[in-house]
Amino acid sequence: MIENILTQIESALAAVSLYTLGKDFTAYCDLRTVIGLTQEDKMLRPALQAPYVFVTHTGDYASVFEIQGAFCEFDEKDTFNERAQKEDPESFRDYIARLHTALASDFKTWGHKLSFVFERDPHKAREELTQLMAPQCRAIRRCGLDLDDILQEKIEQSVPFMARERAFMVVYTGRTVLPASELKEEQQRLQKRLKGAPVARFGQDPEHLRLEGLKIRHDALVSKIEQDFSTDGQGVLLRLMEAHEVGFHIREETDRHGTSRDWQPLLPGDLLFPHGRPKGDDHSTMVPPYLNFQLFSQEVNTHGALVEIDGLWHSSLALTLGPQKPDTFTPLFHKIHRKVPFRLRWDLMPCGHEVLGKKRTALEFLSVIPSLRPLYDSVQWLAKNNERDPTCVMTITASTWADDPQGVKRNLTLLQKAVQSWGVCEVTRTFGDPLRAWTSTILAASSAGGVHLLFPPLSAALAMMPLNRPATPWPNEASVVFQTVDGKPFPVRLGSALQEKCTEMVTGEPGSGKSVLLNVLNEVVISHGQSQLPFLSIIDKGYSAQGLIRLIRDALPPERRNEVIGIVLQNDAEQCRNPFDIQLGARFPLTTERSWLIQLCTALCTDPTTGHPPDAKDTQQILSRVIDEVYRNNAEKNPIRYAPTLVPEVDTALSEIDSPEEWESFSWYEVRDRLFETGHIKEATLAQYQAVPELTDLQSALNHEDVRHAFGDIHRDGSQEKLLKTLSRCLTQASTEYRLLAGRTKFALDPNTRVIALDLNNVMGDNTNEGQLRTGILYLFAGQVAGGEYSLPQHREELLAKIDPRYQDFHLARLEQLDQEMKTKVYDELHNARKVPFIFSALETQDREQRKFGIRTLLSSQYLSDFPPDLLKSANSLYLMRVRPEDAKILTEHFQVPAATIRRFMSLSKGAAPDGSGTCFLAVFRTKIGRIVHILKNTVGPRELWALNSTPKDSALRNRLYEQLDGRTARNILAEHFPTGSAEKIIEHRQKQAGEQESTNIIRQLADELMSSRGPRW
């Protein structure tokens, strides 16, 4: 009894001190607890692991959405023009009209409320980028790559131009939505069900606040808003947030310096140790404290209109008069200086017409006074418009912060000027309770909002909300971090499960930044590695990828540099790779290898003038038959006998087992098996190279009796020449013309090689029909050499059936590696083969089949029109450096890019920005949740830019330094002297001064100057 009396006295003293001596900071937060997840919640929202419904001090429910942004940029023209009649699904006006229609009924009666919060903080850019790029940092360390300097430089280069952005929407459902009788029944039910239950007077006890009717209505509104705002992936991307995450954001907004990234509020159901001193039948020590005690637990000091928490100073303002010329949020965003941190909050409540009711009655008597007539007319217009467009009650508050009072006053002045110019507004910085004014800007903390009421129509209020910021579907899953034109970080996940398949396109004219962007996309593939480098093959022309290869090789320990290789192909027998090679331990090709061989041989027989083989159907049947015949001949009928001295490495390995002469009666296949059994895997591979057929063997197969019997009478269309003779002539010519694929393999990749770039610059054809055909054949050949094995896991059963059982363990290890990781195939400069139908047909076939093999395909060319329609439809990601007028139709038809976005992109300056913020490009991502279209920037630091730069003069200078120095030192020197990532201007200037005779020595002289200027410290 005495203890109960003391508890009551203690509570009374606390209340007296709270309301007479000063208001405690915790009282400014209305949140108390959360409603736990039900089984239905878990079923409908399986991604949620924690509650999402808050309960306020008045028993109202609240949930928070993160506004991730718009799927595509809305056209904001004529947003407030009521006379604009033309419907346009891409316009912001039509989107707001759809939202208005969906929400109008909820804003005609009391019970629901929306609150929007937008925050931008440039001082958090470094923290944001560091967090987004943390997976890349961890990945390169796991893979043993020394690229920390490149990643850190990327952060340093991006920070001055970026700012962290957050946007939220709070959905409130008040108890007033329940009829009085239903509310009474709910309360009686709770009392009966919880009779005798333990009481927690100062802790969270959500079961006493769980009203089923209120929860049903709140969930209905949450689901409705989620659907209405998205509009089937064409509106605004929302994400329902868990209470833990919301609590962190509230706490961080109040204490920006003192809130750990790992902090989260304690909720019912979380692991909890008893705390405090038990007092009688009060079980508060056994449950989490009220949320307001956890979220608003800091020491707060007010100094006039300023609020200071943990050394950070805050100040606020509020709109007292709404925009005379209503405008969208975008102009306001651009008016605020990019270095000013700020937070804006809009509170939108229903029944504005009802609130204005008494004032309207008074104005009717005073409307005869001329000075009051405009006010009377405005209220009358709202009343007349109320049925069609409900009048709302709205408050708008804002705050900013700095490390010192002078800084926050300066920021507040800049913010005030920007807000005042937003459609001509009036604001105030004077508040009776500055702490209340500041907390009314914080996410979900105060359910009441500001104190200065505005009464706009619902449609106008919605149009002022921060809904047109760019959305990324990968906010926390960055493979690479780009930025929007106005500095919002834009993470992109390559090979994402959000996309049906992984087909990407990069297009851009020379000098547009395409090669740098392509190299960046290839570079970040490395961050997909688990413990080893991921599989990456690049088919290139013009040495664009060689800088990337050197960068990765330099980052590896010397003993692992065989994992990365860059080769400039030569049409030489010393670089021959036999297309008839098969899997080690097999005697016949896999189905996929056989199909590729038929495709390649068909291409070798293609008529350059038509782009098609003679009698395509018969040609493929003949080639299919002869390919099978040569494999059967070498495997079963006439296996090639081992010949000593032909392959010295094999001879040496055999001498360790037996005398090589004893093997002269055996076939190369038998030698291969013996070598493999004794652990000589490399030598077994070399032996198999001698056992398989080669291109010239097809000649004898064409003369085989069965082939002549089946196809000997077929003539080439439009000619008296026999088709077999035509094919024989074509293959003979190919054996002479393509020395790098006509013969035994001499160019073999190291089994440990995982990143390979094959440059076709020295073997490609010219722009004639014959040259284009040659280019297409070499693209086909190089793609198979570099990445032909990527699809092996999908042919596992066939492979294991076709190889000797002794080889199974060897292949199972390879299959496991290939199956677990994303593989990337890159085809650059494809405009060189745009006139060759079969190359794009082959790429399209690969694209359809490889999406289920975990293979990401990246296609690059100069123009969108270089790609056929089927490939354009197939692409799930597009990176476009520049738009030509003729590209607009392709963008709208195949990628559904809004016309407003195309116009805006075409109006932007071309090339790298002078301030170093990067190069703009248009990005399109087709995802399962909707189509994402935005203009982004690729920001690259000077070291990375020097590593990836592919312009001839810069590449020559870089390579000259590479010859004398290690890669990192060379890049550091270049970045220090040429921080823009290019020395073209100074090279061109010196070449003009030197004249023709000395112009070729300028780059060598400049490289020597750079090295000598640094002295011995390098």
Q: pLDDT for 708-738, tens place per residue?
A: 888 888 888 777 788 899 899 999 999 999 9
Q: Which residue has the higher pLDDT, 6 or 617?
A: 617
pLDDT of 336 over the 90 cut:
yes
Tell whether 936 is covered by a domain.
Answer: no
pLDDT of residue 363: 47
Tell whether 782 is covered by a domain.
Answer: yes
Q: Which of 326, 343, 316, 364 is nearest to 455 (CA)?
A: 326
Q: Are residues 894 and 864 in the same domain?
A: yes
Q: Are residues 540 and 482 in the same domain?
A: no
Rounded-to-integer distance, Cα 573 and Cα 776, Å: 20
CB hemisphere CA count around 1012 (13 angstroms): 6
Tell whether 760 is covered by a domain.
Answer: yes
Mean pLDDT, residues 366-372: 50
pLDDT of residue 113: 94
Rounded-to-integer distance, Cα 357 and Cα 364, Å: 11
pLDDT of 892 over the 50 cut:
yes
pLDDT of 381 over the 70 cut:
no
What is the band of 698 on the pLDDT scale with cuts at 50, 70, 90? Answer: very high
pLDDT digits (tens, 9 = 90+) for 10-31: 455 444 444 433 468 999 999 9
Tell whether 891 is covered by a domain.
Answer: yes
Could you say which of 858, 885, 910 is where a domain stops?
A: 910
pLDDT of residue 468: 93
Q: Are residues 511 and 470 in the same domain?
A: no
Q: Angle at Cα 797 formed by Cα 792 and Cα 801, nearest 5°?
A: 110
Could you say which of 448, 470, 492 is where a domain stops?
A: 492
Rounded-to-integer distance, Cα 365 and Cα 354, Å: 18
- Judge whether 292 and 29 are in contact, CB under 8 Å: yes
Q: Which residue has the higher pLDDT, 805 or 22?
A: 805
Q: Are residues 94 and 218 in the same domain?
A: yes
Q: Which of 309, 315, 308 is nearest to 340 (CA)?
A: 315
Query: What predicted TM-score, i.e. pTM, was given to this entire model?
Result: 0.90
Q: Are residues 765 and 832 in the same domain?
A: yes
Which CATH number does the domain housing residue 896 bear? Answer: 3.40.50.300
User: Which residues face 170 on adjacent strands?
Assistant: 64, 115
Mean pLDDT, residues 922-938: 94
Q: Are residues 250 and 340 in the same domain?
A: yes
Highest mean pLDDT range out of 263-277, 362-376, 642-656? 642-656
Q: Are residues 520 and 477 in the same domain?
A: no
Tell whether 144 is covered by a domain.
Answer: no
pLDDT of residue 17: 41
- Judge whether 73 and 904 are in contact, CB under 8 Å: yes
pLDDT of residue 772: 86
User: Looking at 166-180, 828-842, 995-1009, which range is the least confident one?
Assistant: 995-1009
- Judge whether 60 and 178 are in contact, CB under 8 Å: no
pLDDT of 889 over the 50 cut:
yes
User: Do the strands 61-70 and 312-321 form a parallel or antiparallel pair, or are they unpaired?
Assistant: unpaired
Q: Angle at Cα 210 formed by Cα 207 and Cα 211, nearest 5°?
A: 150
Tell whether 438 is covered by a domain.
Answer: yes
pLDDT of residue 379: 61
Q: Which residue has the higher pLDDT, 344 or 378?
A: 344
Q: Are residues 766 and 791 in the same domain?
A: yes
Q: Are residues 483 and 519 in the same domain?
A: no
Q: Are residues 487 and 519 in the same domain?
A: no
Give residue 422's domain range. 1-122+162-492
Q: Which residue has the tokens 């878990």?
A: 42
pLDDT of 559 over the 50 cut:
yes
pLDDT digits (tens, 9 = 90+) for 582-591: 999 999 999 9
What percentage of the chain carries pLDDT values higher than 70? 92
* Per-residue H/E/C for 904-956: HHHHCCCCECCCCCCEEEEEEEEECCEEEEEEEEECCCHHHHHHHCCCHHHHH
Alpha carbon 1012 to its chain centroid, in Å, reads: 43
What is the band of 999 on the pLDDT scale with cuts at 50, 70, 90? Answer: low
Torsion of CA 235, 421, 107, 69, to 10 degrees: 20
pLDDT of residue 466: 95
pLDDT of residue 352: 81
Q: Which residue has the tokens 């093959």?
A: 537
Rounded-to-integer distance, Cα 231 and Cα 227, Å: 6
Could you say which of 882, 910, 938 is where a domain stops?
A: 910
What is the band of 951 on the pLDDT scale with cuts at 50, 70, 90? Answer: confident
What is the band of 408 on the pLDDT scale with cuts at 50, 70, 90? Answer: very high
Distances (CA, A) of 851 to 325, 588, 824: 51, 26, 11
pLDDT of 144 over the 60 cut:
yes
Q: Are residues 420 and 540 in the same domain?
A: no
pLDDT of 448 over the 90 cut:
no
pLDDT of residue 438: 95
Tell whether 620 is covered by a domain.
Answer: no
What is the band of 844 on the pLDDT scale with cuts at 50, 70, 90? Answer: confident
Mean pLDDT, residues 231-240: 87
- Judge whether 697 and 628 are in contact, CB under 8 Å: no
Mean of per-residue pLDDT scores for the chain? 87
User: Do the strands 393-402 and 312-321 form a parallel or antiparallel pair, or are they unpaired?
Assistant: antiparallel
pLDDT of 984 over the 70 cut:
yes
Domain count, the chain: 3
Tell whether 729 is covered by a domain.
Answer: no
Q: Are residues 482 and 521 in the same domain?
A: no
pLDDT of residue 926: 93
User: Which residues face 345 on adjacent strands?
Assistant: 117, 397
Highest mean pLDDT range out of 691-700, 763-772, 908-917, 945-954? 691-700
